[in-house]
Every structure is written in structure tokens, then in C-alpha cells.
């Protein structure tokens, strides 16, 4: 178990998290900018979808950046979400920006950052 935890905090796994965060960011952009009627129905509230998406994004970014840069990871994820909220207004797809969506993004990003911090702390302690 100790070896697994140490491996999860290794530089290669952190690099993979960085690459994966880029893929997640692209998926979030696509889902944020397509017309609402083209989105799959996942039977969750819109705010839960935002929180989950940004939890994953921020968690990956923070894991990649490391424990010392957790706040930067949250800022990057939340800033990205803010840019996408404004882009929705410009995309002409009928989607509108929302402060509540931005709040859900922030909540999810903080949860993801906390999980990444905990995983890195446990991996380092072993």
C-alpha cells in the first residue's frame, strides 16, 4: 500500500494528471459552448454538473502543480470557468452566463483542490 501511495505522488503520475487536465478542460469547453438542447441529459442539476466538472479539473491541475501551488490551481480552474461563462454569451448558442454556475465552479474547484492536497500529502508521508 505504501508503494502505491508513493507511486501516485510520483512525477510521472503528476505529469499524466497535467495532460489529463488539458483533456478535461477541452471537454468542459465543448460542453459549455454547445447549444443547451444538444447536451446529453444526465439527470443531475446544472449546478451539480458544474461542481463535478470543476472538481475534476481543479483536482487534476492541483495534483499536477503540487501541494505548494494548490491556490494557483484553484485560480486557474475558476478563471477558466469564468472565461467560459463569458464565452457562452458570445458564442450565439442561446446559453447565458450565470453567477450561480460560477459559484458551483468555485465550490467544485475547492473540493477538487482539497482532494488533490490530501492525496499528495498522504503520498508524501509514506
The whole model's pTM is what? 0.89
| 60-91 confidence digits (pLDDT tens) | 999 999 888 999 999 999 999 999 999 998 98
Q: What's 3's DSSP letter? A: H
Give me the pLDDT at residue 39, please.
Answer: 78
- Which set of grid coordinates corresponds to residue 55? 472538481
Give me the pLDDT at residue 10, please.
Answer: 80
101 burial class (0-12, 13-18, 19+ CB within 10 angstroms)? Answer: buried
- Which set of grid coordinates corresponds to residue 85? 461563462
Residues of the chain with pLDDT under 50: none
Give me the pLDDT at residue 26, please.
Answer: 98
Q: Measured at the alpha carbon of residue 109, what is the angle toward residues 103 and 111, in degrees to the nearest 5? A: 105
Give me the pLDDT at residue 28, please.
Answer: 96
Amino acid at each position: 500500500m505504501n508503494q502505491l501511495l508513493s507511486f501516485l505522488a510520483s512525477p510521472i503520475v503528476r505529469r499524466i494528471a497535467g495532460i489529463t487536465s488539458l483533456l478535461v478542460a477541452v471537454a468542459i469547453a465543448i460542453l459549455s459552448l454547445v447549444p443547451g438542447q444538444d447536451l446529453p441529459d444526465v439527470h443531475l442539476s446544472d449546478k451539480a454538473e458544474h461542481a463535478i466538472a470543476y472538481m475534476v479539473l481543479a483536482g487534476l491541475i492541483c495534483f499536477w502543480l503540487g501541494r505548494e501551488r494548490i491556490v494557483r490551481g484553484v485560480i486557474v480552474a475558476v478563471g477558466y470557468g469564468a472565461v467560459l461563462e463569458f464565452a457562452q454569451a458570445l458564442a450565439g448558442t442561446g446559453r447565458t452566463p450565470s453567477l450561480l454556475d460560477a459559484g458551483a465552479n468555485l465550490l467544485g474547484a475547492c473540493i477538487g483542490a482539497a482532494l488533490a492536497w490530501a492525496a499528495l500529502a498522504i503520498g508524501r508521508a509514506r
